[in-house]
Homo-oligomer: A and B are copies of this chain.
Amino acid sequence: MADLDPLFFPKSIAVIGASNRPLTIGHRIVSNLLDNGFTGKVTPVNPKATPILDLESAPSILEVEGDVDLAHVIVKRSLVPRVLLDCAKKGVKVCIVNTSGFKEMGPEGVAAEQEIVAIAKEHGIRLFGPNCQGVMNTDPSVSLYSNFTFAEMTAGHISMVCQGGGVAEVINNYFGMNRVGQRMYASNGNACDISIPEILEYYGDDDDCHAIVLHVESFANPAEFLERVRPVAAKKPILALKSGTTPEGARAVSSHTGGLMAADTVTDVIFDKCGILRFRSLGELCEAAQAFATQPILRGNRLGMVTNAGSPAIIITDEAIGAGLRVPDLADASKDALREKLQAIASIANPIDMAATASGPEFSASLKTLVDDPNLDAAVICFMTPFFVDTLSIADAIVEQAQRTDKTLIAVAMTNPDGKPEWSETVERVRAAGVPVYYFPATAARVLYHMDRYRQLRDRPSAADSAPGSAASPEVRGDVEAARAILAQAKPGPDGFMDPAEVSALLAAYDIPFAPEGRGSTWSEVQATAAKVGYPVVLKAEAPTLIHKTEEGAVVLNLTDDATLKTAHSQLQDRLGDSHDLTFLVQKYQEKGLEVIIGGAAAQGLGSMIMFGLGGVHVELFKDVVFKLAPLTAPEAEELLDSITSAPLLAGYRGQPAIDRAALVNVVRKVSHLLADHPEIEELDCNPVMLFPAPTPPAVVDARIKLASR
């Protein structure tokens, strides 16, 4: 933690490249520091030592009086190394390099960036940036606005770190316009030294930070991210947006698993492993952050509503039900209480629909009832501001209940605050009590949905046991050394695919149940193998050049005796033998069970991912598959199976028996260990894997493995 204290809690700041010209960054940073009441000392530095904003300047960092914790570096790129050396001499602890023209500008910039990193390393200076905005910290002990932007900051409990400066500004302005209180802020541009994970770790240790907003476009070091950020996410909510399509989306894939990966599957698995709440919409992230900052996380998904306008509450109900929240009946005691206090025309139900004429006392009674109702975990107050109602009394009713409950409260004010001063004051009062206020009715339901997602993420069984290293359950570990030997000797084809016999051996090393099989070329070899495997059998022609066996008609199913097998063998030999160098796989014919696919793919810098989905063509059309980082703990494997839309098929569906789930959990965990132990496996398909009700064991019917080129 101490490392970043000089960045977020500096006592003395030098602005190297400060300027008197109002439209420059060097001017703006100084004025931002002053305007926002920085409690420490600010020293502008410029060659002429011109006074800036009435502050005395120093001609060089070396001539600044006293210690300097933090220096902004705004000089042109070629001067940065020199300035950093001076900073080192001066004992500056952290430099925010605002200057651009580094990594973002191609090879020459990369070299320049490497140079400044080397200088910083050698002299023990920490670098923030380059090509960056800066930091803020609303802690009253510093009141730090060390940034050249123009946002309003209200003190509060959300801390932010954003890779994109533009996105950061959108969030900052949203928070400013909606009076969302912020704690700390960082936008570190190229992040050549102080990284996003390091900043997140710092926020994690800051008791006044209750929720974190994160924007990333790429992971400089996925493994570092995972290791440092996971403990932070265990402590407090991290609401994250990842934007930009990653290179994974573009890479050529040759397996089913690869084809089923989305452009940012890697992001999903990283966030999933960390327990980070991913958002697909920046707007929804901002709206949800507003609630996470001030409201307790709901304890369940049961939502109550009170309104003075029926039709918008219907929209909230629609959205809530659609998002998996519940809108239960009120308790009988609640209904009794409401009948006493509300007008006869009020609808005593959930939502409680009072008349448009309802005022403070009715809102107060209704909201108190919702807050006290044991059937509910959260309450939404959805109101218009009719001209004939004292709407401030509605605000006061909300504030009153907010002070006495630890249930989640959300307000929807369908008003134009510009219409009447009373209306904007109504909104302000509710917000000041820590109850977020939204304009569109459905937003309340979306926000509660995201909070409920977080609750489930936080409380999932795997959150407890999936700490690094805890996954090494002996019953699903394979023979790592045997597998290593097979892989070392493997001679993959030109496209990287392993020989099928080697694949079988590799799966066997991890005790992954393969359909009984053997191989041969001549008829007598094939016949002998069939005798060993036992009829009925399947005959498959194999060759490194035969990738899609089914499509090329290289598979003959359900051969029941020597005669039919012999015919199949000679027909395949005749049809394919000329163009391919054939071996024949004789495999025990499996009854058709429930077909699933278990896949694997290398995840750059993170080991491997495992994939699970139902088999068949529908899987590809619906992309109903899910990925997780390998290896899997048992609860993670359970989550993997439960995450697909077609999961009900595993439990038995429309009269079918349930498959042996425990056996399936073991198989996916074994595959996950195979992947994790051997990151040279670039892609893996076990497809199909046939599942049966216990006690029939699962069986991998076909498997393909592609190795990374060495």
Which residues of A pack against B, CB within 8 Å?
23-25, 28, 105, 150-152, 162-167, 169-170, 173-174, 176-177, 215, 217, 243-245, 281-283, 286, 307, 309-315, 318, 321, 345, 384-388, 414-416, 418-420, 439-443, 548, 550-551, 614, 616-618, 620-622, 624, 645-646, 648-649, 653-655
Contact = CB atoms under 8 A, between A and B. Distances in A.
Contact of A311 (B28, B165, B388, B646): B165
A655 B550 contact: yes
Copies in the complex: 2
A164 B312 contact: yes
Contacts of A419: 150-152, 173, 176
A375 to B, nearest CB: 20
Contact of A645 (B151, B286, B414, B622): B622
Given A150-B387, A624-B622, A645-B622, A442 B24 contact: no
Contact of A416 (B28, B151, B385): B151
Nearest to A176: B416
Contacts of A550: 655
Contacts of A314: 164, 217, 243-244
Contacts of A616: 618
A185 B310 CA distance: 19
Given A621-B646, A621-B648, A648-B621, A170 B318 contact: no
A472 to B, nearest CB: 35
A414 B169 contact: yes
27 contacts: A23-B387, A23-B388, A25-B388, A105-B345, A150-B385, A151-B419, A165-B309, A165-B311, A166-B307, A166-B309, A166-B313, A167-B312, A167-B315, A170-B312, A173-B419, A217-B311, A243-B311, A243-B318, A245-B321, A551-B654, A616-B618, A621-B648, A621-B649, A621-B653, A622-B622, A622-B624, A622-B646
Nearest to A164: B311
A550 B655 CA distance: 9
Contacts of A163: 311
A441 B551 contact: no
Nearest to A387: B150
B311 A245 contact: no
A24 B162 CA distance: 51
B177 A440 contact: no
A416 B167 contact: no
Given A318-B245, A624-B622, A655 B443 contact: no
Nearest to A322: B280
A576 B174 CA distance: 68
A673 to B, nearest CB: 30
Nearest to A624: B622
B384 A169 contact: yes
Contacts of A648: 621
Contacts of A386: 150
Contacts of A441: 170, 282
A420 B152 CA distance: 11
A414 B166 contact: yes
Contact of A167 (B166, B311, B321): B311
A418 B243 contact: no
Contact of A440 (B162, B283, B548, B624): B283
Contacts of A312: 164, 166-167, 170
Contacts of A442: 281-283
Contacts of A23: 387-388
Nearest to A653: B617
Contacts of A318: 243-245
B387 A243 contact: no
B654 A164 contact: no
